[in-house]
Structure 1
Amino acid sequence: MDPPRPFIIGGERRTSSRAADVIFPYDGSTVARVALAGAGDMDDAVRSAGTGAAEMARLSSGARSAVLERMASLIEACADRFAETIVLEAGKTTSMARTEVDRAAATLRIASEEARRLGGEIVDLDWTRSGEGCIGVYRRFPVGIVLAITPFNFPLSTVCHKLGPALAAGNAVIVRPSTKAPLSALALGECALEAGCPSAAVSVVPSSTGDAERLAGDPRIGLLSFTGSPEVGWHLKGVAGRTRVTLEHGGNASVIIEPDADLARAAERCVQGGFANAGQVCLSVQRIFLHVSVYDEGLGLIVDGARELTVGDPRDHATGIGPMISEAAAGAAETAVREAIDAGARCECGGTRQGTLFAPTVLTETDSSMRVNAEEIFAPVITITPYDGFDEALTLANASPFGLQQSIFTRDIGSVARAFGQSHAGTVIVNDTAFRVDQMPYGGSGASGLGREGPRYAIDEMTESRLLVTRDPDLGS
């Protein structure tokens, strides 16, 4: 067996006595082994990042922009290899993996652009007599060290959404990727070094949960940026103490389909939004509310669409849905579906699994207390519920502790305005589902987390404001 792949600390490749197997979710074969950083390695990463943060802060915005542009080009030059890696470590279909690679490069280019826009503003201070003769200059400065903890489901693009803005803002970054899918993050770290990023400013450290938790509690960290489950995220927020934190936890996104909607398109987008990547997407469609006047037709279209999807080997171009990340994850989804059926829900299609393969599942006659509605299932499972009036639909959609995305299919601008005004979600989408382009502000409310991603908005989170006040000496005090 090949030796474990090393991790990166400040440009240095290291191994250790501990390693983790990276498993191909489809068949359980071992793709690679990666060395795990220990507590001492983590401390070295923070000390290196302290040096790297000072180096990054001294770089011009143009130099930081150029590094990120070169990183994007390196990803594109190795696109096939990155895509193959994503398929093997995360179980994504080939088409989804290629899309992720394209998005990762685009995200770094957006961050490259934003690195040049780290401006400030002039603040008028002479509103009162005490401020006469004074001028304020307001700017943002890097927080120093960004700790990025990332999940398995987007092993490249999620890292880019944290590393790109961190470097653009002039920070050093320590990436702790999921040990289920760390290979893309390690390759991205190599790209950063090859692109000319100061070596001390980049570390990629797969590690145990305990060592990652200790790192999150290190007071030298300037910002913890976490994407993952609410349970882990809120726990890490407590561990982080006074350190600034951004959390992206996903949700159980809702869709309202009004009677004036293009029903065929709405159904197609719900199928895509609910079952892509086997439902393992933070903004995956989970709860659909269909107006009673179009309920039967809409339900039929969605069920037909789900049944048309091919579940299987993600390397096969005919496959529409690949495996879930592990048998444990698939088993948990199966249990939640079985609980709902036992409590009175009706399974219109799916509900079965073979190992890590979980059939696209549509449930009806559910209620809000069932886990398939109340929690983030993170599996290819959607529920469909009829409603009579738009106010009822909004109430049902908002009856969730999560608040990441909410969709509405309608041609009525008044309904759009009401949904936008009354939604509890961070994003309201009209006539589409599970929508994200990489420059937009992305994040939610409630159990869905804190803060926003998207390079411009992440840079705001990864910097702190400072005000310079100057007084005209000729005007006295």
Structure 2
Amino acid sequence: MKHYPIYIGGREYSSDIVTESTCVYSQKKFAEVSLANPEHIEQAIEIGHKAKNSMKNLSAHQKRKVLLECRDLFEVNFEDLAETITLESGKTINESRAEMQRVISTFDYASIEVMKMDGEVLAMDTHANSEEFECLIKRFPKGLCTFITPFNFPINLIAHKVAPAIAAGCPFIIKPSDKTPICALKFAEILKQTSLPKEAFSVLPCSNEDSLKLVKDERISFLSFTGSEKVGWMLKGLAGKKSVCLELGGIASCAVYPDTDLANASKNILTAAFGQAGQSCISLQKLYIHNEVKESLIKLLVDGCKDIVLGDPSDQKTKLGPLINEDSLQRVQKLINQSVKTGTEIITGGKRRNNSFEPTILTKLDINDPISTQEVFAPLFIVEEFNNSDELFQIINKSPYGIHVGIYSSNIKLAMRAWNELECTSVVFGHVPTWRSDKMPYGGIKNSGCGREGLKYAIEEMTELKSLVIKK
């Protein structure tokens, strides 16, 4: 069985504490991974803190060189990494390949943004009291960063943090999900082959308890966490004075108006709800259908579900892979069983099939049903009817979450109204809420988080503005 070491300051270390990695689909053990202990974590923080100056002093062209080296190495190792994603997370091989394409584009975008980090000269002659001064402004890296990442995009969500950190000039420590540590350690193998200063990065699979030092330690200047709402806000409370970016997901919704190509919309809706087995922070969970087209669209959706192939995620024909573990399967089945007891109707699906869950559509839920009020992280969505935009917008804005909303319509005035009135961070007009580009600002409001990812915006999160004022 292959053994994977941890990385501290770019060097490999083995530990007496190991964990076994298991294929999500077959449940067969295929590798073991060293786990970092508290001494390893302290060593990584000390080395990373000292690396602040070497990273800060990298020129833009040097950082661009590292980013392009990463991009090229991810291209070379594309298929191996895609297969590892499928093995560890259960995503279908086609979804894993799509993730790797995003990883490559993330580093490509970062290599462009690092060359655009210009400063600014403020016009100070706007008032008599300041006209004898010049003010120059530019961004400086905040320092050592902690990145805590989830299982559902085990390489790309690391890339979302690492690429802007390199562009910003920040050293970093990655604490990956305990469900997908090998993806992170293979990411470290890529970094090791580049010209990035080796002391600038560490990758530390470790216990959640031990990882809290990476949140609390004052030598760390920035924390970026992607994961559950409960854990994210808890970590923010422990982070002290450091800057924090939380990407916590929520309940992504989509509305379909009568002036919509229903056949096209239905295909995209099914992908948005059931892609990644619904285990995405912007997976479609609530579908609002205008009463004029409700029955027609539901029929198309049910027919589409019949064509979704469940099974081995390594098979290219499979469209819906397994949930991440048995606990998730039991949790989802329990939620549905309880929901049905309170009057929920199952339009299709509703049951597990081996270690996968059937594509499921529900309706007539109680307003306080957990499936309606909480992120479910499973291949299911709720259908609700609406009559007009006033009613729809009011319902959407009542949500305690605020992230992506999709709207199908050809009415441009509706697009502008939704942009102005909906309490979310992105309105995707003419498409589903799961669509995004890695160069866009990305994150949530309300319970969905704080701060922004997306290359340009993540660089801003990881840097501070500093002024130089000169008296003439």
TM-score normalised by length of structure 1? 0.97
Counterpart AA for 1:188: F
Native 8 Å contact 1:20 1:179 kept in 2:
no
Give the equivalent residue in structure 2 for 1:401: 400
Q: 1:375 maps to which residue?
A: 374
Instruction: Read off the aligned partner of 1:449 and give its amino acid letter.
Output: G
**Would you say the 8 A contact 2:49–2:220 is kept in 1?**
no
Alpha-carbon separation, structure 2, partners of 1:128 and 1:393? 48
Provide the residue aligned with 1:118 in structure 2: 117
- CA drift at 1:50: 1.4
2:457 counterpart of 1:470: no
Opposite residue 146 of structure 1, the aligned amino acid is C
Q: Cα offset for 1:19?
A: 1.5
Partner of 1:459: 459
Q: Secondary structure at the match of 2:427?
A: strand
Amino acid at match of 2:139: R
Letter in 1 for 2:263: A
- Paired amino acid for 1:439: K
Letter in 1 for 2:344: A
CA contact (8 A) 2:51 2:199 kept: yes
- Contact 2:311-2:356 at 8 Å conserved across structures: yes
Per the TM alignment, residue 355 of structure 1 is displaced from its structure 2 partner at its CA by 4.1
- Alpha-carbon RMSD across the aligned residues, in angstroms, is 1.0
Q: CA deviation at 1:218?
A: 0.7
- Once the two structures are TM-superposed, the CA of residue 235 in structure 1 deviates from its matched residue by 0.4
348-357 vs 40-49, greater mean Cα deviation: 348-357
1:9 touches 1:203 (CA, 8 Å); kept in 2?
Answer: yes
1:117-266 correspondence to structure 2 within 5 Å: 117-266=116-265
Give 1:251 deviation, angstroms.
1.2
Residues in 2 aligned to 1:38 and 1:215: alpha-carbon distance in whole angstroms = 12
**Secondary structure, counterpart of 1:406 in structure 2:** strand
Q: Secondary structure at the match of 1:68?
A: helix
**Where does 1:287-366 land on structure 2 (aligned, <5 Å)?**
287-366=286-365
For residue 306 of structure 2, give the secondary structure of its aligned residue in structure 1. helix
Q: Aligned-pair distance for 1:398?
A: 2.1
Opposite residue 381 of structure 2, the aligned amino acid is: I
CA-CA distance at 1:380 after TM superposition: 0.3
Determine whether 1:423 maps to 2:408: no
Question: Which residue identity is paired with 2:424?
Answer: A
Q: Counterpart of 1:66 in structure 2: which amino acid?
A: K
Match of 1:221, as an amino acid? Answer: I
**SS at 1:302's partner residue?**
helix
Shift, 1:51, TM fit: 2.2
Q: Distance in 2 between matches of 1:334 and 1:235?
A: 27
| Equivalent-residue separation in structure 1 for 2:426 and 2:226 (angstroms) | 17
Q: Secondary structure at the match of 2:7?
A: strand
**Amino acid of the structure 1 residue aligned with 2:442:** Y
After superposition, where does 1:21-100 map in structure 2 within 5 Å?
21-100=20-99
**Alpha-carbon distance in 2 for matches of 1:26, 1:194:** 31
Cα distance in 2 for partners of 1:66, 1:101 equals 20
Tell me by how many angstroms 1:31 deviates. 2.6
Q: Deviations over 1:158-211 (max 9, x none)?
A: 000000000110000111110100112111112112111100001111110011
Residues of 2 paired with 1:379 and 1:35: CA distance?
30
Distance in structure 2 (CA, Å) of the matches to 1:235 and 1:363: 32
SS at match of 1:443: coil
Q: Tell me the residue number matched to 2:280.
A: 281
Q: How many Å apart are 1:262 and its aligned residue?
A: 1.3
Rounded Cα–Cα distance in structure 1 between residues aligned with 2:353 and 2:158? 31
How far does residue 370 in structure 1 lie from its aligned partner after superposition? Answer: 1.0
Q: 1:248 is matched by which residue type in structure 2?
A: E
Cα displacement string for residues 319-369 of structure 1 (whole angstroms, at most 9, x for unaligned residues)? 000001101011111111112111101001111113421111000111331
- 1:285 and 1:306 map into 2 onto residues whose CA distance is 15
1:22, distance to aligned residue in structure 2 (A): 1.7
Structure 1 contact 226–233 (Cα < 8 Å) conserved: yes
Given that 1:31 and 1:89 are in contact with CA atoms closer than 8 Å, whether structure 2 keeps it comes out as no
Question: Where does residue 475 of structure 1 map in the other structure?
Answer: none
Residues in 1 aligned to 2:411 and 2:458: alpha-carbon distance in whole angstroms: 33
Counterpart of 1:470, as a letter, is: I
Give the partner amino acid of 2:318. T
| CA deviation after TM superposition for structure 1 residue 87, in Å | 0.7
Q: Deviations over 1:13-62 (max 9, x none)?
A: 11112122222111211132111111111111111111222111111011
Aligned to 2:105: 106
Q: In 2, distance between residues paired with 1:126 and 1:351?
A: 68
Alignment-derived partner of residue 437 in structure 2: 437
**C-alpha distance in 1 between matches for 2:370 and 2:356:** 20
Q: Percent same amino acid among aligned pairs? A: 37
**Structure 2 letter corresponding to 1:230:** E
- Aligned partner letter, 2:123: D
Aligned-pair distance for 1:399? Answer: 2.4
Query: After TM superposition, what 4+ stretches of structure 1 lie above 6 angstroms from structure 2?
Result: none
Alignment-mate amino acid for residue 444 of structure 2 = G
TM-score (norm 2): 0.98
Letter of the structure 1 residue corresponding to residue 218 of structure 2: P
Deviations 1:112-163 (A, max 9, x none): 1111111110012232222122110011100111111000000000000000
Where structure 1 has 5 or more consecutive residues not aligned to the other structure, the ranges are 473-477
Q: What are structure 2's unaligned runs of at least 5 residues?
A: none
